[in-house]
Amino acid sequence: MAATPGSLARILDMTLVLAGAQLASQIRLDTFVHAPSDAVLVAFSEACVLTLFPAFGVYQSSRGRSMTIVVGRITLAWFSVQVCGLVLMFSLHASGAISRLWFLYWSALTGGALILSRLAVAIALARVRNAGHNVRRVAVVGSAEHGREVVCRIDASATSGFRAVSLFDPSAGAGAQAGNPGRAIFTEFGPFAEHVRSTSVHELWLALPISQESTIMRCLKEFHDDLLNIRLIPDRCGLEILNGAMVDLIGVPAINLVASPLSPRALVQKAIFDRVFAAIAIIALAPLLLVIAVTVKLSSPGPVLFTQMRKGADARVFRIYKFRTMRSHGEAPGQLRQATRCDGRITKVGAFLRRTSLDELPQFFNVLRGDMSVVGPRPHALEHDDLYGPIVSGYRQRYRMKPGITGWAQVNGLRGETDRIEKMQRRVEFDIYYLRNWSFGLDLRIIGATLVKGFIHPNAY
């Protein structure tokens, strides 16, 4: 029996994991892996690759998908495997027998090899598909401009592995065929259906508005028994309506028109990633946290931490932690005065912490508690929720996901005081974009942008 691409990918990944461990051992210890503890860890990681990589969608087809998503998934999956390995070693009280430098070399070498292998395969497939091989033939049922736009996108994405071979458009004019050499254009459904069956078409894409239900149903009925992948590509209006996932609800299929953008499995994955990331961050930053705490305590009378109530997922109220940056003062009930540039309430130490965003570091404890996520919409004060909720479009949609320490709006420069409704509206627009386009790849991109761009921003004061 011939090996499938998925099984070959699994074998390649396991080979890279073993090779990375051996190479790291050769670099660090001038020998190959032989210690029992090292061998146990490598074997456990191999087993985790077989179980966790499929759970993270690593072996799903990459045809037509962004390489950023593919790389993000493999990175997150390998990171999770290594964290599981560390947990095992700590549980067996064998962490002291593992060379930390060897483990870092192994993680880096294998992670890089896994990513490079995906990129190499993608480049090879792109060249093969550009040459006209390994392609899936697509027939498009289009509605005027939207149908032609889909065909143009297929033509512009030659490396995706799709080729538009025919178009059914009842509104096509007499000169439509002249503008599409090598592609069959049909205005009658009967000849189009015969062409689809006689030319070994693999995919049928319905580039139709959802108002054309009769045409959609006609296509589904006509090709019900054919081995075709039939996909609906609605226009912009349809996307607004169908911007949700298909779910099973009391045994019947349902589409989430307005609901959480994360599936139950994705919520579990994100929660695991958040807590692991937060635990590692707290351990790594422990000396810095201690220094900041002492400095804040000495800067002015008052507690080290400043706490406020915020709304999280499903509008549940929780207590958020920050390092105190202001002198102790009182606020009138129901009122909140935002920090402004050159605010006299801010201490010198606090000004530095706010400018560098180091005052936000205690929120990793909020992540461990499950109140927050590493990446998500930034939470606002309850007074601002009451003020902006009724007047800023989409503001309350932010409660559909846990708030984050950093977010899409923040890495795009939307930070600091929101003294005008326009500023808050702009920030919410970026938050809504994140909610609608969430992926692990986007989360990793935001974390990377936060680290690369740094925490300092002119609007942070």
pLDDT in tens, 392-420: 888 888 888 899 999 999 888 887 666 68
Residue 2: band (very low, low, confident or very high) from pLDDT cuts 50, 70, 90: very low
Question: Which residue from 62, 25, 273, 37 is spatially nearest to 159, judged by alpha carbons?
Answer: 62
Quote the mean pLDDT of the chain: 81
Evaluate whether 416 touches 381 at the Cβ level (below 8 Å): no
pLDDT, residue 245, reads 58
For residue 404, give the 3-state DSSP assignment. Answer: strand
Residue whose C-alpha is closest to residue 166's, from 151, 152, 153, 178: 151
C-alpha span between 191 and 176 (Å, rounded): 16
User: For residue 1, what pLDDT band results from cuts at 50, 70 and 90?
Assistant: very low
Residue pLDDT, tens place only, 262-280 = 777 788 888 888 988 898 8
Rounded to the nearest 10 degrees, the angle between the axes of helix 348-356 and helix 264-299 is 160
Cβ-contact 439, 66 below 8 angstroms = no
| Between residues 390 and 256, the one the model is more confident about | 390
Q: What is the pLDDT of residue 365?
A: 94
pLDDT at 307 over 60: yes
By CB neighbour count within 10 A (0-12 exposed, 13-18 middle, 19+ buried), where does 196 fall? buried
Say what the pLDDT of residue 346 is.
Answer: 82
**How confident is the model at residue 333, as a pLDDT?**
54
> Rounded to an integer, what distance in angstroms lies between the CA atom of residue 262 and that of residue 244?
10
How far is it, in rounded angstroms, from Cα 419 to Cα 340?
9
Question: 229 forms bridges with which residues in the sheet?
Answer: 203
pLDDT of residue 233: 82
User: Which carries the bigger pLDDT value, residue 328 or residue 356?
Assistant: 356
Residue 444 is predicted with a pLDDT of 83
Find out whether 143 and 184 touch, Cβ atoms under 8 Å.
no
**Percent with pLDDT over 70 in the chain:** 82
Confidence of residue 327 (pLDDT cuts 50, 70, 90): confident
Per the CB < 8 A criterion, the answer to whether 171 and 207 are in contact is: no
Q: How far apart are the first and last CA of the chain?
A: 65
Q: Check whether 324 has a pLDDT greater than 60.
A: yes
Please name the residue that has the structure tokens 């005008």: 420
Determine the pLDDT at residue 402. Answer: 93
Query: In the predicted model, is pLDDT for residue 252 greater than 60?
Result: no
Cα separation values, 163 from 130, 139, 203, 276, Å: 10, 9, 10, 43
DSSP state of 242: T
Distance, CA of 279 to CA of 406 (rounded, Å): 16
Res 321: pLDDT = 94
Confidence band of 5 (pLDDT split at 50, 70, 90): low
Of the pLDDT bands very low, low, confident and very high (cuts 50, 70, 90), residue 281 is confident
All CATH 3.40.50.720 domain ranges in the chain, comma separated: 136-242
| Architecture of the domain defined by 136-242 | 3-Layer(aba) Sandwich (3.40)
Per-residue pLDDT of 140-180, as tens digits, reads 998 777 888 888 888 887 777 788 888 888 876 655 554 56
